[in-house]
Structure 1
Amino acid sequence: MRISGQTAQRGIIGVLIALTAGLVVAGVDIVAPAASSVVGVDDGLVPDGGRLSPHDIESPAIANLDPALPRAVQQAADDAAGDGIDMFLTTGWRSEAYQRQLFGEAVVRYGSEREALRYVSTPERSHHVTGDAVDIGPTDADSWLSQHGTGYGLCQTYANEMWHFELATTPGGVCPEMLPDASAAAH
């Protein structure tokens, strides 16, 4: 059986329409530009494998944070270094475009907006976009900060994100109870 070019073209168009409809029903933004071409350092992207010194105040990821937050993280990093722990930021402030990209990637990765919201907030709800949150690495620094963070006012705010810290108490105060995940956060 031989298929004409016009029939094949109609078949391809039908498949594209069906795929597009499926993406729309799933809530995937099919109009947004490709993620990798959208954001850069000016959007808060941390280059060099996601390792940013807390003292790199020229980086937009730090410069756009609430000023008290990097000061607290710098003090904590200096004290952690005294204990032999290297602490760095994997991310800090993010532009709305960068947060939108991360959320879109999470929807694809986790299969739904609902599941993605457990790990990545929308730009409208993200504490990274408002400059009120940082993600810390590596794991031993996360553990150190979980134990000592209250001395700097830094608290892990989500139980499923050991790397996510916010100024959520006064230095030496008590951290609020952790939320199970980012979907439980009220903004």
Structure 2
Amino acid sequence: MNTRTTPLPLRARRRRRVIITAIVFAAAVILAIAVQQSLSVAFADATHSDPSPASTPVPTGDITGSVIAPSEADGVIRDDDKPTVFEVDRVAVGNLDPALLEALQRAASDAERDGVTFRVNSGWRSPALQERMLQDAIIQYGSENEARRWVATPETSEHVTGGAVDLGPWSALDWLAQRGSRYGLCQIYANESWHYELRPEAVDDGCPEMLADPTADPRTKR
């Protein structure tokens, strides 16, 4: 009986192809796991970090309390020391309009039951701080027209009157987007998800339609 066998060189080539295929497959699996882990970390960072509103830059330079270098007395809030809406000893919180502050504290108390904490990124601001922020924004955006889409003048800013607050983190903004109108708290500008003001009528009628940005607000034209 004549038995045919595969020549040894052919078997060796097949074995080599099998080994190479296995190595390529293993490398692909390792790469896929690495990419997945990287995306998971990036998503977690984005989910848990505070928003970085263009309207609330922290002034740089020496902090001594002037237009050139505003201090905490002007309403400056540092990234590593953001107060809750209950820390009224901080002027950025304590100088907010009393009705707005009361609504924020009621909402924040209810949000805490859902495991959500409100943090104030920016609240009341002195005219000096507002002017400094506007000048910084002009440098950042390259023109006053573009800057004023994010930062109002000291004469027209609701932050200067204590009538506006910028909040975070994202979990708080999501909570407010769903429930804020119950407390009369409304997002005013479509480009600023963090900027909230008090609209008492929203409790019954819902929040008004958002304006595109501050330049569309009649109050900034006065």
What TM-score do the two structures reach when normalised by structure 2?
A: 0.66
Tell me the equivalent position of 2:181: 150
Secondary structure in 2 matching 1:155: strand
The residue number in structure 2 matching 1:176 is: 208
Q: Quick check: which has more Rg, 1 or 2?
A: 2
Q: Any runs of at least 4 consecutive aligned residues in structure 1 with deviations exceeding 4 A, and if so which?
A: none
CA deviations over 1:40-63 (Å, ceiling 9, x no partner): 111011135351110001111112
Give CA deviations for 1:70-106 in whole Å, capped at 9, x if unaligned. 1111111111111111211111000000000111111
Give the secondary structure class of the aligned counterpart of 1:36: coil
Instruction: Return the alpha-carbon distance in structure 1 between the equivalents of residues 148 and 160 of structure 2.
Output: 15
The aligned residue for residue 101 of structure 2 is 70
Unpaired stretches in structure 2, ≥5 consecutive residues: 1-58, 63-68
**RMSD across aligned C-alpha pairs, in angstroms?**
1.6
Q: Distance in 1 between matches of 2:160 and 2:114?
A: 31
Report the equivalent of 2:167. Answer: 136
> What one-letter code is carried by the residue in structure 1 that aligns with 2:207?
C
**Residue 99 (structure 1) aligned to one of 124, 130, 152:** 130
| 1:103-148 CA-partner distances (Å, limit 9, x unpaired) | 1111011110000111111111100001100000001111111111
Query: What SS does the aligned partner of 1:101 have?
Result: helix
- Range with bigger deviation, 119-128 or 164-173: 164-173
Amino acid in the other structure paired with 1:36 = G
- Output the CA distance in 2 between the equivalents of 1:48 and 1:118: 23
1:36 aligns with 2:68: no
Aligned residues: 154
Distance 2:105 2:180 in 1: 12
Alignment-mate amino acid for residue 176 of structure 1: P
Which runs of no fewer than 5 residues in structure 1 stay unpaired?
1-33
Q: Say whether the 8 Å CA contact 2:187–2:196 is kept in structure 1.
A: yes
Structure 2 SS opposite 1:166: strand
Mapped to 2, the partners of 1:114 and 1:48 lie a distance apart of: 27
- Deviation, 1:170, is 3.3
Q: d(CA) in 1 for partners of 2:212 and 2:89?
A: 33
Name whichever of 142-151 and 168-177 sits farther off. 168-177
Quote the Cα distance in structure 2 between the aligned partners of 1:155 and 1:36.
Answer: 34
Q: Identify which range, 167-176 or 125-134, moves more after superposition.
A: 167-176
Alpha-carbon distance between aligned partners in 2 of 1:178 and 1:153, rounded to the nearest angstrom? 14
